[in-house]
């Protein structure tokens, strides 16, 4: 997959999955615009010194003005939306503030970035690719028990993906999403030390699926929410 000369926006690109996605994109020749929230994220980001990396501080991806500034003057080939947030919580224990926090972090941020990306791609007239990140509970709702607010937000991301894909296909913009199960990251291993970590999908494996969906090699796939579960 060749991304030479192509610009790619990656939100949440300084996280565990983001580092794998950005690393693969750089190997494929892409110019990467990577958003981050905290300065410490940028400072520890493995690819921060690469000549084809531009790090951009964005305090809130659920804020329209902040998202507009991120995409200002860009004509990205692809926009990959990894940023989000996770919280456990049964319905009985989740108040409106907690519900809205999950919707803002996961669905609203994704919606605004999709909107900005589509406008930039349509203005450029060359088509493009958008890849969102849903989650396994977005496809298998019963798995969302105990994390209902998160499941609702990620289900919204899945619906956004399929509806937007239909809206912009005629413009040559292909929109898809991946739906990971629990990924093998240091943070997840720490949180679940007794789990079968070998069954979890590796971030590099999930990144490979994202890379294909975002690439020029993907000529026909749109509106898909692709399960990336590994053996779990």
- Side by side, which strands form the sheet with 128-133? 53-57, 31-36, 7-11, 78-81, 128-133, 173-180, 225-228
* Domain residue ranges in the chain: 7-228
The model's pLDDT over 113-162, given as tens digits with 9 standing for 90+, comes to 999 999 999 999 999 999 999 999 999 999 999 999 999 999 999 999 99
Q: Has domain 7-228 been given CATH number 3.40.50.1110?
A: no
The model's pLDDT over 29-70, given as tens digits with 9 standing for 90+, comes to 999 999 999 999 999 999 999 999 999 999 999 999 999 999
Closest CA to 10 of 73, 75, 56: 56
Q: Is the pLDDT of residue 197 over 90?
A: yes
Q: b or e along 51-78 (b: 16 or more beta carbons within 10 Å of the residue's beta carbon)?
A: ebbebbebeebbeeebbeebbeebebbb
Closest CA to 179 of 195, 204, 161, 199: 161
- Please write down the long-range contacts of 155-158, taking CB distance under 8 Å and 24 or more positions apart: 156/103, 156/106, 156/107, 157/106, 157/107, 157/110, 157/132, 157/133, 158/134, 158/225
d(CA 173, CA 167): 9
Closest CA to 10 of 36, 39, 34: 34
Cβ contact 48:55 at 8 Å: yes
Is 78 strand, coil or helix? Answer: strand
Give the rounded percent of residues in the chain with a pLDDT score beyond 90.
Answer: 95
Q: Provide the mean pLDDT of the chain.
A: 96
pLDDT at residue number 97: 98
d(CA 30, CA 8): 7
Q: Is the pLDDT of residue 3 over 90?
A: yes
pLDDT at residue number 28: 98
pLDDT at residue number 27: 97
Give the rounded percent of residues in the chain with a pLDDT score beyond 70.
Answer: 100
Q: Is the pLDDT of residue 232 over 90?
A: no
As a whole number, mean pLDDT of residues 70-82 equals 96
pTM of the model: 0.96
d(CA 120, CA 70): 11
pLDDT at residue number 124: 93
């Amino acid at each position: 997959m060749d991304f030479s000369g192509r610009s790619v926006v990656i939100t949440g690109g300084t996280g565990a999955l983001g580092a794998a996605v950005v690393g693969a994109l750089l190997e494929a020749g892409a110019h990467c615009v990577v958003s981050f929230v905290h300065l410490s994220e940028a400072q520890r980001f493995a690819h921060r010194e690469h000549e084809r990396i531009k790090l951009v501080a964005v305090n809130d991806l659920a804020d329209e003005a902040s998202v507009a500034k991120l995409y200002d003057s860009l004509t990205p080939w692809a926009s990959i939306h990894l940023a989000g947030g996770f919280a456990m919580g049964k319905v009985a224990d989740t108040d409106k503030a907690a519900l809205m926090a999950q919707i803002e972090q996961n669905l609203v941020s994704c919606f605004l970035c999709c909107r900005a990306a589509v406008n930039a791609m349509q203005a450029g007239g060359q088509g493009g690719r958008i890849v969102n990140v849903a989650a396994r509970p977005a496809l298998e709702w019963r798995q969302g028990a105990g994390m209902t607010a998160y499941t609702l937000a990620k289900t919204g991301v899945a619906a956004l993906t399929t509806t937007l894909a239909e809206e912009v296909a005629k413009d040559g913009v292909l929109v898809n999403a991946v739906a990971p199960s629990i990924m093998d990251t240091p943070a997840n291993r720490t949180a679940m030390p007794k789990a079968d970590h070998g069954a979890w999908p590796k971030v590099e494996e999930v990144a490979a699926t994202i890379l294909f969906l975002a690439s020029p090699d993907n000529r026909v796939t749109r509106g898909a929410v692709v399960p990336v579960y590994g053996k779990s």
